[in-house]
């Protein structure tokens, strides 16, 4: 069966746990995501450990955000690990995004628009006035003009972003919570089924899978529910 379009966030405190989660979920999902916690502790070796024998796609979520020359150097440094996806913050601006795209030609650069942990009230406090939709759409259009071929937004904005950027751009949505699960520190959330129906290409799901008693079984259940939504009987 084709793995579901899910990136499991391996936000583990140690490599053994991350590799175990990766092995449990990879039969069911297309992608695993390595973030700052693991990468800052273990460095580049973490990629091979979680990729394992399955060769699952690895999404390297470093959310780079610096001047263009520095981001280019960082993107070049990690591109030899051949991650499928690398994140940068869209608010770094067009020259920074272009620098990452040029420095890592074999990796899809995903621009993170507005973090899914920010509420509308938080947006005001960091100077992004207006609804989240407006800021996300603006950043999405700018990032695509600068060469990004993937965008990260919340499921709440994915339909608006799709209509802004068209069909060719990969839309990635964290802030995904199966019905009835705790939202934790996420503010702008939706269920996996809703995110997919609204146009997401890849759903990032961490703790609802990894903190469950059986991450493999939970990943399989979320994947099966998505398949049912995609092909209603
Ligand atoms: O770039 C990301 O992946 C990301 C962007 C964003 O806006 N919000 C967000 O939660 N993420 C990441 O997605 C994952 C969500 O994990 P859970 O909240 O445990 O499902 C974490 O690894 C976050 O770092």
Residue 200 has pLDDT above 60, yes or no: yes
CB of 52 closer than 8 Å to CB of 18: no
116 annotated ligand-binding residue:
yes
Residue 156 has pLDDT above 70, yes or no: yes
| 185 CA: nearest ligand 1 atom | 18
Q: Whose CA is nearest to atom 6 of ligand 1?
A: 115
Query: For residues 151 and 113, what is the distance between their CA atoms, to the nearest angstrom?
Result: 7
- Tokens encoding 172: 């990635």
- 185 part of the active site: no
70 annotated ligand-binding residue:
yes
Query: For residues 156 and 176, what is the distance between their CA atoms, to the nearest angstrom?
Result: 10
> 183-196, pLDDT tens digit by residue?
999 999 999 999 99
Would residue 83 be called left, alpha or beta, if left means φ above 0 and alpha means ψ between -120 and 50 degrees?
beta
Q: What was the ipTM of the complex prediction?
A: 0.99
Query: For residues 87 and 54, what is the distance between their CA atoms, to the nearest angstrom?
Result: 23
> What is the whole-number distance in angstroms between the Cα of residue 184 and the centre of ligand 1?
11
Q: Is 112 in the pocket of ligand 1 (CB under 6 A)?
A: yes
pLDDT band at 232 (very low <50, low <70, confident <90, very high): low
> 46-85, pLDDT tens digit by residue?
999 999 878 899 999 999 999 999 999 999 999 999 999 9
State whether residue 144 is helix, strand or coil: helix
Residue position matching structure tokens 């039969």: 27
Instruction: Give the percent of the chain with pLDDT over 70.
Output: 99
Q: Which of 90, 26, 93 is nearest to 59 (CA)?
A: 26
- 61 part of the active site: yes
- Spatial neighbors of 42 by CB under 8 A, at least 6 apart, are 15, 49
172 annotated ligand-binding residue:
no
Q: Is 65 in the pocket of ligand 1 (CB under 6 A)?
A: no
> What is the whole-number distance in angstroms between the Cα of residue 204 and the centre of ligand 1?
7
Residue 6 has pLDDT above 60, yes or no: yes
Q: Is 191 in the pocket of ligand 1 (CB under 6 A)?
A: no
Q: Is 174 in the pocket of ligand 1 (CB under 6 A)?
A: yes
Residue 105 has pLDDT above 90, yes or no: yes
Higher pLDDT, 55 or 139: 139
Q: Whose CA is nearest to atom 24 of ligand 1?
A: 35
* The pLDDT value given to residue 40: 97
Averaged pLDDT for residues 120-133 = 91
174 annotated ligand-binding residue:
no
Catalytic residue among 14, 45, 61, 102: 61
CB of 100 closer than 8 Å to CB of 88: yes
162-166: which pairs have CB atoms within 8 A and are 24 or more residues apart?
162/198, 162/199, 164/137, 164/140, 165/140, 165/141
Averaged pLDDT for residues 102-121 = 97
Does the reported pTM lie above 0.90?
A: yes
> What is the whole-number distance in angstroms between the Cα of residue 173 and the centre of ligand 1?
8
* The pLDDT value given to residue 233: 52
> What is the whole-number distance in angstroms between the Cα of residue 73 and the centre of ligand 1?
24
């Amino acid at each position: 069966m084709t793995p579901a379009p899910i990136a499991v966030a391996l936000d583990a405190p140690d490599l053994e746990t991350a590799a175990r989660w990766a092995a449990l979920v990879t039969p069911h999902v297309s992608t695993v995501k390595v973030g700052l916690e693991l990468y800052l502790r273990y460095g580049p070796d973490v990629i091979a450990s979680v990729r394992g024998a399955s060769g699952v796609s690895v999404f390297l979520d470093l959310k780079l955000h610096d001047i263009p020359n520095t981001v280019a150097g960082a993107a070049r440094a990690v591109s030899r690990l051949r991650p499928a996806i690398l994140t940068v913050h869209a608010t770094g601006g067009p020259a920074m995004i272009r620098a990452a795209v040029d420095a890592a030609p074999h990796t899809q650069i995903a621009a993170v628009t507005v973090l899914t942990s920010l509420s509308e009230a938080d947006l005001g406090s960091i100077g992004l006035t207006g609804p989240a939709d407006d800021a996300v759409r603006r950043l999405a259009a700018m990032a695509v003009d600068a060469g990004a071929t993937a965008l990260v937004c919340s499921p709440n904005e994915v339909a608006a972003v799709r209509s802004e950027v068209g069909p060719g751009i990969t839309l990635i949505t964290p802030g995904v919570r199966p019905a009835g699960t705790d939202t934790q520190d996420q503010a702008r959330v939706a269920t996996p089924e809703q995110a997919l129906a609204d146009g997401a290409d890849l759903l990032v799901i961490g703790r609802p899978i990894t903190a469950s008693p059986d991450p493999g079984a939970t990943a399989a259940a979320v994947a099966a529910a998505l398949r049912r939504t995609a092909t209603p009987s």
